């Protein structure tokens, strides 16, 4: 049974993410302003990406919820993949800005001020981000929302980034090695670049009609086996994901002597069983006589 956190509405969580991003930007910018730490500045810049990403994710989730229409008969579910792709791109832009600022500070080191207050503000903002990221991750998996999960992963990356910045700036305070500050900022940039690349890759795979997860296909296979016997068999099983929606297409072979009504009734039972076993699944089953095999040829393969 899903917990109350998992059942939270994705749009509500994304609106909350926008509010939290504004709060953390204010806290981290204040931390940078009183310390002049480029490491803390890089942390604040990543929170700006959080704000832009959360706003864009909210827009895409809203579009994804639109019902199917004449121009989009399969719905608008893929809109969420644009959100994770945009977030990955925004991370690249933020990382470039961080590295540029850090290199300049590395060439011209400056002393840091009021580190205690700056680090305290960074820790508070990280705690807020961690709580929200955890809730969004749980809800994202429950609703199968790539936009929500992408925003949660980015927030969690921000938490670890802030932890690294706090440790690095703390070491500056202890050792007085000013060059550590921009070095930490560069490390932050490289870390978020890795997360941005992962988000863009996941987005591209979704737009390319990636197959369902192995565990989901195993559940589909198990459901089909419950109906399969010497008079009924299944083949040509293919699947794809489109945002929250899942699709599976297959052929069901049965005796040619069966009436259309009987065959349709069995097919309806199989479709219902599949959709009950896998939430969000749309099953399309083509009926064929037992002695007939369907053959597929892509016209491009013949060129």
Model confidence, pTM? 0.59
For the segment 110-164, what is each residue's pLDDT rounded down to a tens digit?
777 667 777 788 888 888 888 888 888 888 777 767 677 777 877 777 787 777 7
Phi then psi for 47, rounded to 5 degrees? -65, -30
- The rounded mean pLDDT for the chain is 79
Q: Domain spans of the chain?
A: 10-207, 214-302
Please indicate whether residue 10 or residue 225 has the higher confidence score (pLDDT).
225
Does residue 190 surpass a pLDDT of 90?
A: no
Domains 10-207 and 214-302 share a fold: no
**Residue 181 has what pLDDT?**
74
Q: What is the mean pLDDT of residues 53-74?
A: 79
**Residue 1 has what pLDDT?**
47
In this structure, whether the domain defined by 10-207 belongs to CATH 1.20.1510.10 is answered with: yes
For the segment 11-28, what is each residue's pLDDT rounded down to a tens digit?
788 888 888 888 888 888
Whole-number Å distance between alpha carbons of 217 and 96: 40
pLDDT grade, residue 295 (50/70/90)?
Answer: low
Q: Residues in the chain, how many?
A: 303
Q: Which CATH superfamily is domain 214-302 in?
A: Cation efflux protein, cytoplasmic domain (3.30.70.1350)
């Amino acid at each position: 049974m899903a917990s109350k956190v998992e059942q939270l509405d994705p749009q509500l969580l994304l609106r909350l993410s926008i509010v939290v991003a504004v709060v953390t930007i204010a806290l981290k910018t204040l931390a940078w302003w009183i310390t002049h730490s480029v490491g803390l500045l890089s942390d604040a810049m990543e929170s700006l990406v959080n704000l832009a990403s959360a706003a864009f994710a909210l827009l895409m989730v809203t579009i994804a919820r639109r019902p199917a229409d004449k121009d989009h008969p399969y719905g608008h579910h893929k809109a969420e993949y644009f959100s994770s792709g945009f977030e990955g791109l925004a991370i690249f832009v933020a990382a470039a800005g961080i590295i540029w600022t850090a290199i300049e500070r590395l060439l011209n080191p400056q002393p840091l001020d009021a580190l205690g207050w700056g680090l305290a503000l960074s820790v508070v903002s990280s705690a807020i981000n961690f709580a929200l990221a955890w809730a969004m991750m749980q809800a994202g998996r429950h609703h199968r929302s790539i936009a929500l999960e992408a925003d949660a992963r980015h927030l969690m990356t921000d938490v670890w980034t802030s932890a690294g910045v706090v440790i690095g700036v703390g070491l500056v305070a202890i050792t007085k090695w000013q060059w550590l500050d921009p070095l930490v900022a560069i490390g932050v940039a490289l870390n978020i670049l890795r997360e941005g690349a992962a988000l863009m890759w996941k987005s591209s795979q979704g737009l390319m009609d990636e197959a369902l997860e192995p565990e989901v296909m195993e559940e589909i296979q198990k459901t089909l086996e419950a109906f399969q016997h010497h008079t009924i068999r299944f083949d040509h099983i293919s699947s794809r994901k489109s945002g929250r929606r899942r699709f599976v297409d297959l052929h069901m072979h049965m005796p040619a002597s069966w009436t259309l009504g009987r065959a349709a009734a069995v097919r309806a039972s199989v479709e219902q069983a599949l959709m009950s076993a896998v939430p969000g699944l749309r099953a399309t089953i083509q009926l064929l006589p037992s002695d007939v095999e369907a053959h597929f040829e892509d016209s491009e393969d013949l060129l």
